[in-house]
Structure 1
Amino acid sequence: MTSHADTSSAQPSGHSRRGFLRGAALAATGTAAVVGEAAIGRTPALADDNERSAGTGSWRPDATAEQFTLAVMPDTQFLYWGSQDSIDRKPQEESFRYIIDNSGTPDNNIVFMAHLGDLTQDADPSSFDEVDKAFRMLDARRVGYSVLAGNHDVTGDDSRGETPYLQTMGPRRFKRSPTFAGADTAGYNTAHIFQAAGRSWLLLALDWRTTDAGYAWANKIIKDHPKLPVIVTSHDIVASTYDDNVFPYESGDPEDNAVLADNGRRMWGSLINDNDQIFLTINGHYWPPGRTTKQNAAGNDVHLHITNYQIRYFGGGAMLRLYHFDLARNTIDVETINPWILAEDPGDRSELAAEHSRVTGPVDDFSIMIDFDRRFSGFAPVPVRPARPAAKQLVPGTQAYWRFDNQGAPGTSLPAGHTIRDLSGRGNDLTVTAVAGTASDALTWSADHHRDQPGHASLTFVGGRDPLHGAYLTTGDAAPLNDATFDRGYTIETFVMLPLDWDAGKNGWASILSRRGSAEAAGKHGENTDPGEPVLQLAITNNGREPQFNHYPLNNSYPTTNWGHGLVERRWWHLAVVNDGRRTKLYVDGAPVVDNPNRTSIGLSSLGLPWLLGGHEYDGAIDIVFHGNIGDTRIVNRPLPSREFLTA
C-alpha cells in the first residue's frame, strides 16, 4: 500500500480457533511458542530438484564475521494480483536467488531476509498459490526469513482467524526453519532469531494491526530473550513527511523526514519505548521512503525506517533494501538494489530499467553510525576482560614494565617525586617530575584503560606548550635501561588515548615515550637529521594526530621514521614498535602501518641518559609535555610476535 490503509481487498474467513502448544521450544530459552490451530495451514511443498539447481547456490551465511547483511523486501503486491490474472514471480525469484548466492560472501554475507507485508494485491488464494511457489526457493535451502501480513493480504487485526495468508505464510511454514523462534496464538505475529557477528539477533515480524494480546506476546518474547538486540518489522509504523515529487534534500533533513503513523504511535507506546533492546524498526506501506530517529525511555536512539518501492518501475520489481552491518566500524551501510534488473545483460536493459537497477537517493542509500557496544550495553554489556597479573606479562627479555593499577584512586594527583616501580625487577623505576608552576592535578591516576590492557588503570597527563606546563616521569640517572642499545632487536609497547580537547598547536609532537640526548650530541647528521631532537621519540604529530616513531639507529647517522595513521580521540589505541635486528615496524592495534621504511636500522643510539614517559626535550631541554592518557608500557630486548603483545 502507498499511503492510505485500504482494507477492502481481503476478507477474513471467520473460522473458530483453539490454542495448542507448539512442540518446539523457543531458541535459547526453552519458552514454548503458542500458535492457533488456524495458523497451521498447509505444509508447503519443497521445490523440486530442477528448481533447486536452477542457477542458485547454497545458503551459507558466516555467523562469525563482524560484517553481515540483513536483506529487506518491501511490498511486492503488484507482482501478485491473481484475480486480475496478473502474476509475475520472476522479479521476486531473482531477488531470492541474489539473497542465496550472496550469503556468506565477503561483500554481503546476507544472513536473513525480512519481508514487510503486502505480498499480494488482492489476498486471493490464487495469488498466494503463486507466492507459495516463489518462497519454495528459500524453503528448499533452509534460508532464514520472515514475513508479515499487510493490509492487502488481510483485513482487521491479528484476531481475524484463518485467511489465505495464514494458510500460506503462517507458522507452520517455518517449522523447518533454523531461525524460527515462535508465534503468538493467532499465528500472525512471529519471532525469528538469526546468528551474526558471533551473537544472536531477535527479529519480530508483527501484523499490520497488532492487538493487545499480540503486544503482550511480543513483550514476553523480548523478556524471555533479555540480552538480544531486537529489530521490529511491521507493515505500518512510520510515514514520510514529504511528497513523492520532492526530493528529500529539498524537504529538509534527509535523516528526519518520517513521523510515527497512528498505528506506529500505538506500537511505540505498547512495545518500542520501554524495550531498550529495540534499536531498529523497518516498515513498508507508505510512500515515499523515509527515516527518523527517536529516543526511547532509556534515552537511547531507535532508528525508524520506511522502505517501499511499489510505485516505481514494475511495481518495484521486488527491490531489496540491504542493511550492511559492520560492527568493526560501528556502522550500518544501507543500499537499495534491484537484482532482477541487475541480472539482465546491461545491453538489454531499457533506459527506465537501468535507472532503477540501483536507487541512490538520501533515503535509499545512506549510513547510520551506531556504537554497538555502547548502544547494547544496557542489556548486553561487553564482558570486561579481567586484569592480568603483572608477572604474566614479564616475557623473556623484558627490560622494563610500568603499569599504574592499585596505586591510587581515580583522580588522585601524583606529586613530584612520586615513584612508579619497574615491575620487571631490573630497577628502571620512574619518578614524577613537574614543570615549574604546573598545577597539582597535571598528572593524575585514572581507572580508564584499553579493553585488552593487562592493567586496569592509566595516567592522565594534562600538558602542552606555549606556555610549557605539565608533569612527566623519568628513569633514574643510574637506571640500566639508560645504557641499553638493543642491537639484536627490541619491542616497545604502550597504550594511549587522546582527549577531545587535544590541540595540534598546543599538543602536537608531544612524546608518549622518549630518550634524553640530542641527535647532535650523539654525533648524528645527514638527511632528515634535526640536531636538536632526541635520539628516540614515540610521539603524536600535529598532522592528524598520527603516531610517529623516530629514532637514530647505531648503524646510521640519520634517523629512521615510522608513521602511523590518525588516531581518533576518546578511543584507546595499542601501539607497538618492533625491530627484528635489522628493520623497524610500527603497529597500531596489531596492524602494521603503511609508512614502515624498508631500510636497515640496527639498535638504538644512547648517550646513557634517562628515558621519559610523557616528556619530550629539544636541544637538551623539556619543551612539551604529553596531553592524554598513557597505559601499560613495556620494553623488551627482542622482537615479539603479535601473539606475545600485551593485548594477547
Structure 2
Amino acid sequence: MRRSPTRRGFLQGAGLVGAGLVGAGATAGVLLPPATLAWRRLGDGGDDYRPDPASPRFTLAVIPDTQYLFDGDRGDPEPLAATLRWIVAHQAERNIVLTAHLGDIVENGAAAELAEAGRIFEILDRHGTPYSVLAGNHDIDASRTDQRGPSAYLEVFGPHRLRRLPTYGGGTPDGYNTYHVFRAAGRDWLLLALDWRPSDAGLDWARSVLAAHPTSPAILTTHDLADADHSGATWLSEHGQRLWDRLIHDSDQIFLTLNGHFWPPGRLVRPNAAGRDVHVHITNYQDRYYGGGGMLRLYSFDLARGTIDVETFSPWILGQRPEWRTGPARREVELTDPGNRFSLAVDFAERFAGFAPVARRPARVPAAVLVDGTVAYWRFDQGWADGSAVPEGFRIDDLSGRGNHLTRVTLPGSGPAALRWSTGHHDDQPGHGSLYFDGGQQPARGGYLRTVDGAPLHAATFEDGYTVEAFVKLPADVRTAGHGGMSVLSRFGTGRDAGKTGPDPAEPTATLGFTAGMGLKWVVFPVNLNGLVSNWGHEVRPDEWFHVAVVNDGRHTTLYVDGARLLRNPSAVATGLAGSDEPWLVGAQHRDRIVQQGFYGWIGDIRIADRPLPVERFLLA
C-alpha cells in the first residue's frame, strides 16, 4: 500500500466505500450489484486439492492487496470469497499448485478484520487447497521488523494454521516468515513468503531454506520490493534494494519475485550474481474499482513451451451476469493491457543450470539402436575437431553392417569447408556429433555424401514398409538465404529412370527435404503408382534441433517430428519405393539427374529400416 490518505481519499471520493456499505463484517446486500447476490448462492464447488505433479504445466495463483475489502465497518469480503471459490473450482483444470497472497490482507490490522479474512480463507482450508500469506504494513505494526512479537495477524494466519496445508515447509521462530514446497513438472519448487520487514535473522533463515533445498527453483513473495509508474518504468524500492543486496542477488535459485504495496503493476528483469535473469513483478489493484474486486493473477508455467503466461481478472465480476455489470465492472472483468496480460519466455533448463543442471543424455553405442530391420545407420561422431573439414573422398561407415557406406563429394566451385564436422547434436541423439553442410543453389554449391558403388541399399524397394529417420538443425538465417527445396536425404535417379511416366518424371525417386518456406516434405514415386505421393509437414523452427521420421506400413506413409504425428499424410495407398539401382545422397537435392543444390544446416544420425517402426522405437526414444 502506497500512500494511505490519498488511497482512502480516492475511494471515498469515488463513492466506492462508505460507513454504511458494510456493517460488522456482513455484506449489506441491498447496496450491492444484484449479480453479487447470485454469486453468493454458489457453494465452494470444485474438488479437493489433487494437483498433477508430473505435468509440465502448472499454475501459481497470486492475490495482491485486499485491504479495502476488510476495513473496519466498511468493505466487502465477497470479492475475495469469489476469488477463492474460483481457485477451488478450477484447481484441477488449471493444475493450480499454490495460491500466494502478497500482504495487506486487511486495512487496519484489527482483530475483527483479520478474523473475517480468516473466515474467508476457510474456503481453501475446507478443500486442503494450499496457500501462503505474509504480513503487509497494514496487517501488523509496520514500524517494527519481524521481531515485533505477538499480533492479531499471527493469531489468525500464523504457522498453527499454515502447517495443516500440504505445501507448508516451515517458518521462522517469530512466525512471520514461512516457506512452502510444491511438486510440479516432476520437481520440487520453493516459495518464500517474507514479512513486510524481515530482520537480518529472517534473511539468514531464508538463505538457510535455500541451502536446505539446493536444487529447487525459488519464488520470493513479499509486500514491498519494487515500485513502478504509469510510464511503464519499474525500479526497486528502498527496502527492495535491501532484499536484493542481502538475499536475491547472490541466490541463483530465486528466479521470480512478486510483491504488492505499490501500483500500478510493473515488471523488470535484473541479472543476479551468476548473470542469470531474475523477473521482478509488482501486482496490486487496490486503487481500482471496488478496491480491486478481488483481482486474481495467474502465472501459468509451461515447461514444455519454455513459457510463463500471465493473466489477470476478477472472478467476482466474472461471476456476475453480464447484463447486470456496471460500466466500472465491465472494464475490470479482465485486464488485457501489456502490464497485466503477457508471456515470459524462459529457458528453464538454462536458467536453473547453475544449481540444478539437467543431466544430458549420454551417447549410446551403435549396437543399442540397431533395431531389427536396420539396413543403414550413419552417425558423425568420429572424433574429428569441431569445425574441421571432412576430407574429400572420406568414408563414413554404415554401422548397420550392411555395407551402405558414405563418401564425401564436393560440388564444383566449393572448397573443403563446405562440409565440416560438428559437435552439435540433438539432446536425444544417440551419436553426439553431426555434419555441417554449407551449401546452396544458383549456382549449386556445397559438399554432400553419397553411398558407395555397389551398396545394397541401391536396389532396395521396401515393399513391406520402411522407416527413415534423421536429426536436423537449420541455421537461423535459412529463410533469408534462399535455401528452399533443399534435401536432407534423396535417392539418385528420376521417376523416368524408374519407369514412371506420370507427372513430374524428372523428380527424384525419393526426397526428404524442405519447401521454400522450410516446411518438411517427403516426396516419392511408390512401386505401385505411376506418379508422386507427397507427405507435407509444418514449417520447422530454425536454430533448433529436431528429429524427423517417415514411416510406411506397406500401404500408407506417415510423417513425424519429435515423435509427434503430423497432419498432411496422404490416404493414397503407397507401397514401397521405386528406384533405378543408384546411390542415395545425404545433403544434396537433384532434378533430372543434375545435383542442383547442397544442404544448408546440420544433419545428425540417420537410420533406415526395412519395416515400420513404432514411435517408441525411434532413435530419440
TM-score, with length taken from structure 1 = 0.88
Match of 1:245 in 2: none
User: In the aligned structure 1, how far is the partner of 2:124 from the partner of 2:77?
Assistant: 14
Read off the aligned partner of 2:310 and give its amino acid letter.
V
User: In the aligned structure 2, how far is the partner of 1:482 from the partner of 1:606?
Assistant: 8
Match of 1:480 in 2: 456
Residues 47, 92 of structure 2: 8 Å contact kept: no
1:260-339 maps to which residues of 2 (within 5 A)? 260-339=236-315
2:614 is equivalent to residue 628 of structure 1? no
Match of 2:373 in 1: 397
Match of 2:316 in 1: 340
Q: Name the stretch that deviates more: 404-413 or 296-305.
A: 404-413
Summarize deviations over 1:39-97 as a string: whole Å, max 9, x none.
xxxxxxxxxxxx99643432222111111111000000011113xx2253222121111
SS of the residue 2:417 aligns to: coil
Read off the aligned partner of 1:58 and give its amino acid letter.
D
Note closer, same or farther for the CA distance 1:61–1:160 as it changes in structure 2 (3 Å cut).
same
User: In the aligned structure 2, how far is the partner of 1:343 from the partner of 1:174?
Assistant: 29
Decide which of 206, 217, 220 is 1:218's aligned counterpart. 206
Residues 438, 599 of structure 2: 8 Å contact kept: yes
1:598 to partner: Cα distance: 1.2
Residues 46, 90 of structure 2: 8 Å contact kept: no
User: In the aligned structure 1, how far is the partner of 2:156 from the partner of 2:42?
Assistant: 20
Match of 2:29 in 1: none
Match of 1:230 in 2: 218
Read off the aligned partner of 1:74 and give its amino acid letter.
P
Match of 1:372 in 2: 348
Match of 1:134 in 2: 120
Decide which of 535, 551, 554 is 2:509's aligned counterpart. 535
Match of 1:172 in 2: 160
Summarize deviations over 1:195-240 as a string: whole Å, max 9, x none.
1111111111111112221111111211221111111111111111
Match of 1:147 in 2: 133
1:333 to partner: Cα distance: 0.9
Q: Name the stretch that deviates more: 147-156 or 437-446.
A: 437-446
Summarize deviations over 1:143-188 as a string: whole Å, max 9, x none.
1211111111121221211111122111221112211111123221
User: In the aligned structure 2, how far is the partner of 1:263 from the partner of 1:54?
Assistant: 38
1:404-443 maps to which residues of 2 (within 5 A)? 404-443=380-419
1:37-56 maps to which residues of 2 (within 5 A)? 54-56=44-46
1:117 to partner: Cα distance: 0.2
1:427-576 maps to which residues of 2 (within 5 A)? 427-526=403-502, 529-543=503-517, 545-576=518-549
Note closer, same or farther for the CA distance 1:461–1:93 as it changes in structure 2 (3 Å cut).
same
2:58 is equivalent to residue 68 of structure 1? yes
User: In the aligned structure 1, how far is the partner of 2:445 from the partner of 2:420?
Assistant: 14
Match of 2:35 in 1: none
Residues 48, 129 of structure 2: 8 Å contact kept: no
Summarize deviations over 1:483-530 as a string: whole Å, max 9, x none.
10111111000100112232455322111000001223333343xx33
SS of the residue 2:298 aligns to: strand
Summarize deviations over 1:93-116 as a string: whole Å, max 9, x none.
2111111111121xx221110000
User: In the aligned structure 1, how far is the partner of 2:461 from the partner of 2:5?
Assistant: 78
Residues 419, 430 of structure 1: 8 Å contact kept: yes
Decide which of 92, 99, 106 is 2:87's aligned counterpart. 99
Match of 1:111 in 2: 97
SS of the residue 1:564 aligns to: strand
User: In the aligned structure 2, how far is the partner of 1:368 from the partner of 1:597?
Assistant: 38
Q: Name the stretch that deviates more: 402-411 or 325-334.
A: 402-411
Read off the aligned partner of 1:540 and give its amino acid letter.
F
User: In the aligned structure 2, how far is the partner of 1:505 from the partner of 1:534?
Assistant: 24
Match of 2:2 in 1: 2
1:142 to partner: Cα distance: 1.8
User: In the aligned structure 1, how far is the partner of 2:153 from the partner of 2:174?
Assistant: 12
Match of 1:182 in 2: 170
1:467 to partner: Cα distance: 3.6
Residues 44, 85 of structure 2: 8 Å contact kept: no
1:341-360 maps to which residues of 2 (within 5 A)? 341-360=317-336
1:301 to partner: Cα distance: 1.4
Read off the aligned partner of 2:510 and give its amino acid letter.
L
Read off the aligned partner of 1:639 and give its amino acid letter.
P
Q: Name the stretch that deviates more: 402-411 or 149-158.
A: 402-411
Read off the aligned partner of 1:141 and give its amino acid letter.
H
Read off the aligned partner of 1:530 and give its amino acid letter.
D
User: In the aligned structure 1, how far is the partner of 2:580 from the partner of 2:262?
Assistant: 74
User: In the aligned structure 1, how far is the partner of 2:514 from the partner of 2:247?
Assistant: 48
Summarize deviations over 1:522-552 as a string: whole Å, max 9, x none.
33343xx333321111012221x21111111
2:147 is equivalent to residue 159 of structure 1? yes
Match of 2:551 in 1: 578
Note closer, same or farther for the CA distance 1:189–1:530 as it changes in structure 2 (3 Å cut).
same
Residues 181, 193 of structure 1: 8 Å contact kept: yes
Read off the aligned partner of 1:570 and give its amino acid letter.
D
CA RMSD of aligned residues (A): 2.0
1:332 to partner: Cα distance: 0.9
1:429 to partner: Cα distance: 0.5
Residues 495, 575 of structure 1: 8 Å contact kept: yes
Match of 1:39 in 2: none
Residues 504, 542 of structure 1: 8 Å contact kept: no
Residues 3, 285 of structure 1: 8 Å contact kept: no
1:386 to partner: Cα distance: 1.6
1:316 to partner: Cα distance: 1.0
Note closer, same or farther for the CA distance 1:202–1:614 as it changes in structure 2 (3 Å cut).
same
Q: Name the stretch that deviates more: 274-283 or 464-473.
A: 464-473
Q: Name the stretch that deviates more: 453-462 or 607-616.
A: 453-462
Identity score, percent: 49
Summarize deviations over 1:126-156 as a string: whole Å, max 9, x none.
1111111111221222212111111111212
1:427 to partner: Cα distance: 0.5
1:568-647 maps to which residues of 2 (within 5 A)? 568-647=541-620
SS of the residue 2:107 aligns to: coil
Decide which of 187, 193, 202 is 2:181's aligned counterpart. 193
Q: Name the stretch that deviates more: 310-319 or 345-354.
A: 345-354
User: In the aligned structure 2, how far is the partner of 1:109 from the partner of 1:299?
Assistant: 31
Note closer, same or farther for the CA distance 1:52–1:189 as it changes in structure 2 (3 Å cut).
farther
Q: Name the stretch that deviates more: 472-481 or 380-389.
A: 380-389
SS of the residue 2:424 aligns to: coil
Read off the aligned partner of 1:2 and give its amino acid letter.
R
